[in-house]
Amino acid sequence: MKWRELIKERSSIRSYKDKKVDEKLLEQVRQYMKELSPLIPEQKTEILLLGKEAGPRLEGIVGYMGNAFFAPNYILLLGEDSEEGYIHAGYLAAQLELKLTELKLNTCFLSINEAKAVKTALNISSPLTVTTCISFGHGNPEKDSNRIDIKSRSDVRMEKIKGHIAPKIAMDELVSQSVFGQNCDFAEDAMDPNWEKAFYASSLAPAALNRQTYRFLIEDNMLYLLDREVKHITKEDRYLNDGIVMFYFHTVLTAHFHKPDSWTVGTVEKKPEWKVPEEYFVVGTYRLF
């Protein structure tokens, strides 16, 4: 798949046509569910493909303000109830949403408000917890809207897109070099241009309540993904977001060259010389070269 193009193309659609998804497309989705690249192979996961009958059952217990959108189909991901389990689920869910985008189907991530209630409503007996849900189908047309595309404070463009408009963090706020808040100049610092492509893709990652709380810090050959707690966003949703960001970065970077390893998930000690604000913690590390 052309990951960069799909990442730019995807958008959240919150209204769907009462139209069945072609069975041939659903079969491609089922097949792709078996081909996902794991972030943490030892993590236990289950993925369920559901029909429109799930919509009324999910109403009130998933999605912002309990809105499940009554979509033609849903994908439900179950995993281990841990930080690693939710990050891994986000990593898998990102792949599924981009595959659906490639199939010209519209999607939206739905937060899980009551995981136990979801299992009860859908008669799921798995010991795993419900981690996230994706609604999908043929979306109702939305008006073109303008989005400010910010690559840096000196490179700001306006482009028209369809779907729900979400703010996007500027690259020079997203990525720091050695010291938190110290901007990276990819040209001046003679960095691999593919790093910039991967960071830009990461800046487009969907996030709970459109709050992009994650940040990157580069030190020598290591990249650190940082995140922080904010009001109204659960730690589970924050970890899911981190998993999506990890996939976006890794898949765009490795589209240009082979890299055998990926992210290492887990908190590490922040170095005093990084001057990272107290509220941030390290979610994972990535060896750039």
Residue corresponding to tokens 């009958």: 53
Residue 239 near residue 90 (C-beta atoms within 8 A): yes
Dist. CA 31–CA 34, nearest whole Å = 5
SS (H, E, C) 138-167: CECCCCCEEEEEEEECCEEEEEEECCECCC
Domains in the chain with CATH codes: 3-137 (3.40.109.10), 145-287 (3.40.109.30)
Tens digit of pLDDT for each residue in 227-284? Answer: 999 998 999 999 999 999 999 999 999 998 888 889 999 989 999 999 999 999 999 9
Tens digit of pLDDT for each residue in 16-65? Answer: 999 999 999 999 999 999 999 999 999 999 999 999 999 999 999 999 89
Q: So what's the pLDDT on residue 151? A: 47
Q: So what's the pLDDT on residue 147? A: 46
Dist. CA 200–CA 264, nearest whole Å = 21
Between the CA of residue 196 and those of 257, 265, 272, what are the distances in Å?
Answer: 14, 22, 26
Residue 25 near residue 119 (C-beta atoms within 8 A): no
Residue 167 near residue 211 (C-beta atoms within 8 A): no
C-alpha 26: how far from chain center = 22
Q: So what's the pLDDT on residue 144? A: 56
Q: So what's the pLDDT on residue 275? A: 98
pTM metric for this prediction: 0.91
Going by their DSSP bridges, the two strands 129-137 and 106-110 should be labelled as antiparallel
Residue corresponding to tokens 């078996």: 34
Count each helix (H run) and each strand (E run) in the chain, helices first: 8, 11
Q: So what's the pLDDT on residue 152? A: 47
Question: Hey, which residues does 218 pair with through a beta bridge?
Answer: 177, 223
Q: So what's the pLDDT on residue 285? A: 98
Q: So what's the pLDDT on residue 164? A: 44
Tens digit of pLDDT for each residue in 99-123? Answer: 999 999 999 999 999 999 999 999 9
Tens digit of pLDDT for each residue in 127-186? Answer: 999 999 999 999 998 765 544 444 444 454 545 545 444 557 888 899 999 999 998 877
Q: So what's the pLDDT on residue 154? A: 47
Q: So what's the pLDDT on residue 165? A: 47
What value does the mean pLDDT take over residues 207-223?
A: 93
**Structure confidence at residue 192 as a pLDDT band (50, 70, 90):** confident
| DSSP secondary structure code for residue 281 in this structure | E
